[in-house]
């Protein structure tokens, strides 16, 4: 009996919620076709937590690009590593916008075949 009452209350709540949104749903194409309507009832973006002390990672960074991971030097992380031959890139950014690799849009199919997990091309895996 308790289960029936709970189910009925949930169903009534969903129906009430759906009827409150009916006007929006009824005019959905007015919103979809309007390019000025992209953030209706959306909160302004903000950072939830900013620590008292933080380090900015913005700036000019040394950068080594390889078409496969094996092209990256094994000891690049050591303080004594000589990175003078490496390029510089601005951070924040991404390497494709600074002339490295191929520019790819992510709203199209993945650039590799997929099954249950990505089948990464071992001859073309930008790193």
Q: Where are the beta strands (DSSP E) in the chain?
A: 59-63, 87-91
Name the H helices within the chain: 2-20, 22-26, 28-32
Between 66 and 6, name the one with better pLDDT.
66
> How would residue 6 be classed by pLDDT, with cut points 50, 70 and 90?
very low
Question: Which H or E element spans position 94?
Answer: none
CB atoms within 10 A of CB 111: 13
State mean pLDDT over 15-34. 59
pTM, 2 dp: 0.50
As a residue count, the chain comes to: 127
For the chain, which residues make up each domain, given as ranges? 2-32, 59-98
- Residue 17 and residue 7: Cα distance in Å, rounded? 15
Helices (H) and strands (E) in the chain, counts: 3, 2
| Residue 19 confidence (pLDDT) above 90 | no
Of 108, 111, 115, whose CA–CA distance to 123 is shortest?
Answer: 111
């Amino acid at each position: 009996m308790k289960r029936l009452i709970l189910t009925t209350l949930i169903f009534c709540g969903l129906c009430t919620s759906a009827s409150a949104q009916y006007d929006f749903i009824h005019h959905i194409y007015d919103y979809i076709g309007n390019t000025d309507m992209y953030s209706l009832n959306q909160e302004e973006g903000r950072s939830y937590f900013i620590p008292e002390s933080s380090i900015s990672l913005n700036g000019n960074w040394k950068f080594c690009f390889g078409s496969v991971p094996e092209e990256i030097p094994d000891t690049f992380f050591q303080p004594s590593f000589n990175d003078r031959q490496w390029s510089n890139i601005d951070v924040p950014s991404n390497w494709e916008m600074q002339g490295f690799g191929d520019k790819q849009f992510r709203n199209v199919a993945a650039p590799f075949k997929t099954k249950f997990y990505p089948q990464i091309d071992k001859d073309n895996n930008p790193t």
